[in-house]
Amino acid sequence: MAILPIIRLPDPRLRLVSEPVARIDGEILQLLDDMLETMYEAPGVGLAAIQVAVAKRVIVADTARGDEPKTPLVFVNPEIVWASEELNVYQEGCLSVPEYYEDVERPARVRVRFLDREARTQEIEADGLLATVLQHEIDHLEGGLFIDHLSRLKRERVVKKFTKAARERSAAAQVQDRVEA
């Protein structure tokens, strides 16, 4: 098991379209375990592989509350096969856009088809927070981010803020490298 670094906005890898998993082998099982550990440690309620810089169609989720037992869920090659007409608004956040939260409207219920750890095809019908998280994660597999659902003004503002923060971190790292050299 390993905690993997989570990439952040404006890392261009977040915009990649992830590749389907052809075979669930030991490497994929290890990735699923590492992603769960990384999600719990963050902590978050979902994680897509591209957030740990792996462009594969793999997501994990656990929407159990802190006082409830863990319910780790893993989804390989997930697809939304049905979405309700009814919509729901949730305040969303993203581990790749830390400490920024905004309301997003999405279908209230979805049916998702996926492969489990044993490569069996499964379907799950989700509502509430899990429905939102599954849609948020499946967006990541297409290079999407929840900020894409906001107004252009809000999105541009947050991209600018994270671009500036990344620039400042890289400048500080260069100073650090200089004093250590």
Given 140, 141, 144, 158, the residue binding ligand GNR (CB under 6 A): 140
Given 9, 36, 49, 94, the residue binding ligand GNR (CB under 6 A): 94
Out of Ni ion, ligand GNR, none, which partner does residue 141 contact, by CB within 5 to 8 A per kind?
none
Site for ligand GNR in 22-51 (CB under 6 A): 44-48, 51
Out of Ni ion, ligand GNR, none, which partner does residue 133 contact, by CB within 5 to 8 A per kind?
ligand GNR
Helix, strand, coil % over all residues of the chain, rounded to 5: 40, 30, 35
Give the closest residue to 5 by CA, choosing from 47, 43, 38, 48.
38
Residue 137 annotated to the active site: yes
The reply to whether omega before 10 is within 30° of 0 (cis) is: yes
| Residues with Cβ within 8 Å of residue 144, at least 6 apart in sequence | none
Task: Single out the catalytic residue among 79, 102, 118, 137.
Answer: 137
Q: How far is the CB of 15 from ligand GNR (least distance, A)?
A: 14
Question: How many CB atoms sit inside 10 A of residue 63's CB?
Answer: 17
Distances (CA, A) of 139 to 2, 30, 122, 168: 25, 23, 20, 29
- 136 contacts ligand GNR (rule: CB under 6 A): yes
Residues catalogued as catalytic: 137
Q: Residues interacting with ligand GNR, by CB under 6 A?
A: 44-48, 51, 90, 92-96, 132-133, 136-137, 140
